[in-house]
Structure 1
Amino acid sequence: MLPYAKVIVLGSPISKSNFKLHNKNGRAILPSNTGQAHDKYALYEEEIAYYARSQNPNIILDESLIAILKVYYKSDKRHPDTANITKSIFDGIEKSGLIVNDAQIRRIITEEFYDKENPRFELEFYGESQFELSYTIKKVEIPIEKLLYKPITTGKVGQNINTPAKTTANSNKIVCEFCRKSIKEIDPIKANGGKTLICRSCFTKLF
């Protein structure tokens, strides 16, 4: 059997690259049952793992791999950064057992497309023992319309605006992202680059 596998997961791809939550020992975790918006990252990985395994029964790729990833977004105007989308996808694939470790993926080609009716990603793996990768870049004979990108507005020129900690409507007290109660600790637990604050009680319940 050739060292090959293909995974198709329907739905708009999501990226978890900007979300970080760590346990008491400093290890990164991804909770899935808190009832909060953060659960979507872990649930998306589980969905990817399910389809990867069900679409490739009895296949385990344990050699170095070439990966061809085609991501189809709903819109060309608003979607995650394609450069970051691979993290969520490959973590889900690794959980499925289809590959041993995402470090096996030594060559990656990622392509971005748009399909309003059927957003999805399609991922193919090729074992390097029997496949090789080649590509060609050439000048087009007839130029096509430019797809232009606008810079992200962050406030004043040269100034980045950080998202403030969430507060209650009637005060400036910091509240927990999960239980919505006021955090009394002087040094609350921070996640997601400091944008998410968690009281120690809720943090303990995550384990």
Structure 2
Amino acid sequence: MADYAKIVVPGTPISKSNFKMVSKSGRFFLPRDSGSYSDRYANYEAAIALHSRNQNPGVVFTGALIAILKVFYKSEKRHPDTNNITKSIFDGVEKSGIIVNDAQITRLVIEEYFDKENPRFELELYPEHLFAMDFRVLRREEPLRKKNYEPPSNRKGELKKVKEMGKPPKKEAPASTGKICSVCQKPLAPGNYISGNGGTTLICKGCFAKLY
């Protein structure tokens, strides 16, 4: 019985998270040999299945699995969303027969790297009844340069509205009486001043408090 498998597939992984076609009978399928751009999804899964089986002859897992997926992209600026590529990868591995159902993956760690010369993914599989995962997050002694991300282009307007909704309403400047404080010479707001000497002396409440 195998207790470990490693699969390495060259090239940048393809995401099919938002892709599907429907046949006349209403079943979902991936087109193959249609001559269209959509063939790439089925062809990529077939390539994964071929590499998986060739690299792990005779290996079949039927139980729960721990999976460590390392993805090496060619470019830091343009690549698929890492959290969206797992569907294509595990569907391809399932087609190889190494696993019987991608639901077997009960623990998954994904790590993102960059390799301009050799983009690829590396997948390690461990039977959960034989191995345990020891996962820790440690604070760096020396922080790395922070990499900031922009929202998707189709959501920038939406996120802007959300941010605007979260801001407190702007305070409107209080209306002025057209009169000024006899002490600080600032405009007086309605109800915010004290009148004396028959109305000839006007003092804002702030200045009045300081006098006493």
TM superposition score category, shorter chain reference: 0.7 to 0.9
Q: Deviations over 1:19-74 (max 9, x none)?
A: 11111232210011111100000000000000000000011011110000000000
Structure with larger RCO (C-alpha < 8 A, sep 6+)? 1
CA distance in 2, matches of 1:23, 1:103: 25
**In structure 2, what is the equivalent of residue 66 of structure 1?**
66
CA distance in 1, matches of 2:30, 2:135: 36
Task: Report sequence identity in percent.
Answer: 56
| Structure 1 range deviating more: 117-126 or 136-145 | 136-145
Kindly indicate which of the two structures has a greater share of residues assigned to helix.
Answer: 2
- Specify the SS of the correspondent of 1:157: helix
**In structure 1, what is the equivalent of residue 148 of structure 2?**
148
Greater Cα radius of gyration, structure 1 or 2: 2
| Contiguous gaps of at least 5 residues in structure 2 | 160-212
RMSD: 1.5
CA distance in 2, matches of 1:32, 1:125: 28
TM score, norm. by length of structure 2: 0.72
CA distance in 2, matches of 1:62, 1:154: 41
| Contiguous gaps of at least 5 residues in structure 1 | 160-207
Q: How does 1:147-166 map to 2 (within 5 A)?
A: 147-154=147-154, 157-158=157-158
TM score, norm. by length of structure 1: 0.74
Confirm or deny: 8 A CA contact 2:68 2:110 kept in the other structure.
yes
Q: Deviations over 1:73-127 (max 9, x none)?
A: 0011110010010000000000000111101110100111100000000000000
CA 1:129–1:140 in structure 2 vs 1: closer, same or farther (change >3 Å)? same
**In structure 2, what is the equivalent of residue 37 of structure 1?**
37
Partner amino acid for 1:15? S
Partner amino acid for 2:50? Y
**In structure 2, what is the equivalent of residue 170 of structure 1?**
none
**In structure 2, what is the equivalent of residue 3 of structure 1?**
3
Query: Structure 1 runs of 4+ off > 3 angstroms?
Result: none
CA distance in 2, matches of 1:15, 1:79: 10
